A and B are shown apart, each in its own frame.
Chain A
């Protein structure tokens, strides 16, 4: 069945390095969301897109995070430079985004550790 895929599943990097996480939404879904999950903060919405256009990225630290959708089958979340406080699990989710069909489907996540 159709699933959201994310790569890599795990990433360990040193502080100051660039990190790129990738997401392939379910084919036909027009909304894509990036979340971050930590024990302290829980689940936080970082950014989301509709039809590849960014709708809101107010949840992201602007100076180091960027999110893009180069095409309908790929969403990326980049951190440059990374910091230890960025250590978290990052989830991508996709959906149809309209009334009555507004559930989101989550990927398995990328577990990021910044040392």
Chain B
């Protein structure tokens, strides 16, 4: 079945460092891909998405490009801030045969940014 694999955390960076969180997927068909962020004590929030190959999703300085040839959707940010400390989830839409809108999530990667 479809699945998402993220790099294990925690990822610890200094402020203003470059961030990459790797995400690869296995899917039949052409799912949409998402990054969600969860701040402490809160629910998941959509960070960005891409709906087809070569699309780049971007938001709040974060970017990710839908790479069909490598089945990847790596999250990047050029300069992280302490306020970016959170858990990041990669996800894909489970199109299946009924297109239910179900998402398949990776296990999450914790990012800690130190001042």
Contacts and interface: CB of A to CB of B under 8 A. Distances in A.
* A and B part of one assembly: yes
Of B89, B102, B107, most A-chain CB atoms within 10 Å? B102
B82 interface: no
Interface of B: 32, 34, 36, 42-46, 49, 51, 89, 93, 95, 98-103, 105, 107-108
A45 B45 CA distance: 16
B49 A98 contact: no
Contacts of B51: 99-100
Contact of A43 (B42, B89, B100): B89
25 contacts: A31-B100, A43-B89, A48-B101, A50-B101, A55-B98, A91-B43, A93-B43, A93-B44, A97-B99, A97-B100, A98-B101, A99-B32, A99-B93, A99-B99, A100-B51, A103-B34, A104-B101, A104-B103, A105-B46, A106-B43, A106-B44, A106-B45, A107-B43, A108-B42, A109-B43
Interface of A: 4, 31, 33, 42-43, 45, 48, 50, 55-56, 91, 93, 95-100, 102-109
Chief secondary structure at chain A's binding surface? strand
A99 B30 CA distance: 10
Contacts of A33: 102
A31 B101 contact: yes
A33 B93 CA distance: 13
